[in-house]
Structure formats: C-alpha cells, structure tokens
Amino acid sequence: MALGVAILTMGTRPMELAALLSSVRSQTTPATRTVVVGNGCSLADLGLPHWVETVELAENLGVTGGRNVALEHLRDMDLVLDLDDDGLLVSDTDFKRIVELYEADPRLGIVGFRIADETGFTQRRHVPRLCSGNPMRGGRVTAFLGGAHVLSGKMLEQVGHWPDAFFFSHEETDMAWRAMDAGWKILYAPDLLLQHPRTSPTRHAIYYRTNARNRVYLARRHLPAPLVPVYLGVWVALTVARTRDAPGLRAWFAGFAEGWRTACGPRRPLRWSTVWAMTRLGRPPVL
C-alpha cells in the first residue's frame, strides 16, 4: 500500500522537524512520499532533505486548510499519515505496522497513535476514551488524536477532507463522526507511538474562541436535532465549571456566539444507528 506522510510547519521548530524527518526516513518500510507544508512561512532556510516534497502557502490556512493542501498533493496515496512537526517516531517499524493493520481490515478508516512525552507519560486528554486512564488499552474508538494519525484514501474519497471553516480545534471529531456515519472503523493503536512534548491546549492564543465556535459547528453540521441542546448544554456546563481564566471564559462565549452566526459547511446529521454505535463504544456524541 502506498503510504504518504504529511507534515505541517510554521517554520518555528527547525530542529524538531529535522529530527522527525530523520525518524520518518529510518522506517524499515519506507513512505512512498513525504510532503512538508509551510503554513504561511518559507521553507527555504530549513535545510529540508532532497527527498521531501515542499509546499509553501502565502498565508496560514490553519490545521484544516494546511492538511487539505497536503491531501491534494497526496491524493494518489492509499494511506496518509499526518504528523505534528514537533513529534518524533520512536520505533522504526511503525510504517510496517500501519500497512499490516490496513491490509487486515478493508473497513479500517482511521488509525490513531498513542502520544507520550520523552518520559513515556501520556496526558489524560490524549487518551481517546472516556473514563480510562490507561493509555495502553487499544481497540475501536470514536475519536483520534490530531498529532499522529493515519487516514484511508478510500475513506477520504467517500467522506471528504478536513472542514476548512474549523481552522483549528475539533477537526478530528468532525472527521471521526463523518467516518463512522459512513461505516468506517476508527482504531486506537497504542503500539504506534509519537513522542511529543507535554503541552497545554491553552498555549494557542485562539484556543478558547475556536474551541467554543467549533463545538457549535459540530452540533450544527452533524448532530440530530434533539441532541444539539444536550451536547452544547453539557459543554457550556463543563467549561464554566473547569475554567478559572476570566478572559479565557469571555473568549469562549464569544466563540460560542460566533459559531451560530458564521458559516460552518453543509449539515449532514448522523444516523441514529451511528449514535447508538458510538454509545456502545463508550462515547455517545454528547460528550
């Protein structure tokens, strides 16, 4: 199977990007193609290897826009692996394992990696299950991590690419819901590891605004009408209970309002059978 690797960068992590590309190159089963997208930056001074294909965007199109550009360049691939530019592949057999997983199951749409820092610690927010502190428990899930995941080319042909309007935050949830509604499986494979610095999502200046806006987008795009107030009500309550940053809370509610008044793409509600399938897997689409 042809495996393409897509990496977005803003050019601010040259050493980390070089290390990541070295770990990509050292895989025992090589990638067919590797594309680095400069998201609103020049790549000329990064000293990228000759085997890397480069695309420079004049402006930052966000995670969704940048990844969609990468997908266009890798549209002839059977599989596309997205990697954060500050991550590192620890094992040299990851690509071999990825191909084995997809060859074993033709309905496998998405494979999510485990993410851990240099000490081996996985943050709770990086475990794609509810009520599970065990990052080594693999299997079918309803969500996946943005830092390292594999997408089936056939699945993408059916469900489409990333939602451009999201820019950043919850774009993986949008993709996961569309994939499951079309009958594709999502697998969390903890033996596939991306080493990544321990971080907080609030490090991004736009976090609170896009977090809230995109939750509204998700509800408007995908939830059956009776679940819209449930989903949004749960997240309003959780945000108020958890957030101790007053400016952040104001930004969150501003984003919530923005989510209602701005365009988010076409509405395609999940089938109730998909809602039930997600519930049986432990995560109904209201949490």
Quick: pLDDT tens for 28-87. 999 999 999 999 999 999 999 999 999 999 999 999 999 999 999 999 999 999 999 999
How do strand 148-152 and strand 139-140 relate by DSSP bridges?
A: unpaired
Q: pLDDT value at position 57?
A: 98
Counting Cβ atoms within 10 Å, is residue 213 exposed (0-12), middle (13-18) or buried (19+)?
buried
39: helix, coil or strand? strand
Instruction: Identify the DSSP state of 43.
Output: -
Count of Cβ atoms closer than 10 Å to residue 68 Cβ: 17
pTM score, whole prediction:
0.95
> Cα dihedral angle (63, 66, 68, 73), rounded to 10 degrees?
-150
Short-list 222, 91, 100, 80, CA closest to 148: 80
Q: pLDDT value at position 135?
A: 94
Report d(CA 58, CA 23) in Å as an integer. Answer: 28
Low-confidence ranges of the chain (pLDDT < 50): none
Q: pLDDT value at position 133?
A: 78
Report d(CA 132, CA 123) in Å as an integer. Answer: 11
Query: 117 phi and psi, to 5 degrees?
Result: -80, -175
Residues in the chain: 287
Look at the block and give the residue holding tokens 């000329």.
44
Q: pLDDT value at position 203?
A: 61
Report d(CA 71, CA 78) in Å as an integer. Answer: 11
Q: pLDDT value at position 40?
A: 96
Q: pLDDT value at position 260?
A: 98
